[in-house]
Amino acid sequence: MDFVQLIPWAIFGMVIVGVIALINKLNSDHSRANERLDELRNPHLRNNPDDANSTSSLLEKAAPALSKALTPKSELEENQLKVRLANAGYNSEAAPSIFLSLKVALGLLGVLLGSGYGFYNFGMSQNGWTSLVIAGGIGFYLPEIILRLLVKGRVERIFLSLPDALDLLVVCVEAGLGLDAAMRRVSEELEETAPDVCSEFALCNLQLQMGRPRREVLHDLGIRSGVDDMRALAAILIQADKFGSSIAQALRVQSDSMRVKRSQLAEEQAAMTAVKMIFPLVLFIFPGIFVVLVGPAAIMMINGLLTS
């Protein structure tokens, strides 16, 4: 093996050593004093010391250092990232740093795997460097793709389950419960069928119990859910609370409008079915029908031409 063949292996080894050194540096930054402070903040770690060395715990500790390079430079960008994570269901304060650290970690892992594959198969050629860049880019942007899919799925689930939750909320309010107690009742009753809506209502109740103004809690509910109908609901509840109007009537009107909107969406999807069925009909069904109908006549014509 000559020197040219050893160069890819040397670069691959340098990348591995760099990643290991980075991990050791991140783990060595936490002294026993920091561990004691973590135990005071989270009493669960005192009873289960093994959890402090778990993967999630190590990732949470290493998140600030890993995400430092990708930290938003302005408050607007930081708020946009928090809203996107909240739309996916991640409301923790450490969620932005963990998300950015995942991007960095997966990007480094992609570079590591891409360099190993590319340099081993193609050497120090353009294909080898291309494999490194592609693998690193895939690892870096993979959390973004997963986050968008999570946001899309959660928004759709909230949109479909919100009318039923509002119907139960109307029943609870008309039965004499206040808005806070009604939301608590809905979050308990629909926990299995509409977990996303119930988690949002439960978080609202927790914030109200901690003393936050109802106007701010409802405003955050509309932004955190990412659903236009939830924003409209929050605006209606804020106005009803401000002007002292009937909350039950406002909820009933919003529930009816959402149910009509959902039925219109179903009718739109049903009307689009005929157009969507054209392509499978032309590609898969019509050729079979054509063979069945025209095939015997074509065979008879060929036999007649051959005999004549």
The per-residue pLDDT for range 53-104, each reduced to its tens digit, is 454 555 555 556 566 667 777 778 888 888 888 888 888 777 888 888 888 8
Give me the mean pLDDT over the 156-161 stretch.
86
State the pLDDT confidence band at 41, using cuts at 50, 70 and 90.
Answer: low
What per-residue confidence (pLDDT) applies to 62? 58
State the pLDDT confidence band at 52, using cuts at 50, 70 and 90.
Answer: very low
State the pLDDT confidence band at 34, using cuts at 50, 70 and 90.
Answer: low
What does each C-alpha distance from 162 to 10, 40, 87, 197 come to in angstroms?
58, 39, 15, 7
State the pLDDT confidence band at 106, using cuts at 50, 70 and 90.
Answer: confident
Encode burial over 109-144: b for 16+ CB neighbours within 10 A, e otherwise: bbbbbbbbebbeeeeeeeebeebbeebbeebbebbe
Mean pLDDT of the chain: 77
- Model confidence at 120: pLDDT above 80: no
Query: In this structure, what DSSP letter does residue 277 have?
Result: T
pLDDT tens-digit profile of 232-250?
A: 888 888 887 787 777 777 7
- Model confidence at 40: pLDDT above 70: no
- Model confidence at 152: pLDDT above 80: yes
What per-residue confidence (pLDDT) applies to 25? 57
Query: In this structure, what DSSP letter does residue 281 have?
Result: I
Least confident of 14-18, 55-59, 288-292: 55-59
Sequence-ordered list of residues with C-beta below 8 angstroms from that of 108, at least 6 positions apart, any chain: 19, 22, 136, 139
Give me the mean pLDDT over the 271-279 stretch.
84
Encode burial over 269-283: b for 16+ CB neighbours within 10 A, e otherwise: eeeeeeeeeeeeeee
- Pairwise pLDDT comparison (108 vs 7), residue with the higher score: 108
User: What is the distance of C-alpha 111 from the center of its chain?
Assistant: 24
Instruction: Tell me the whole-structure pTM to 2 decimals.
Output: 0.68
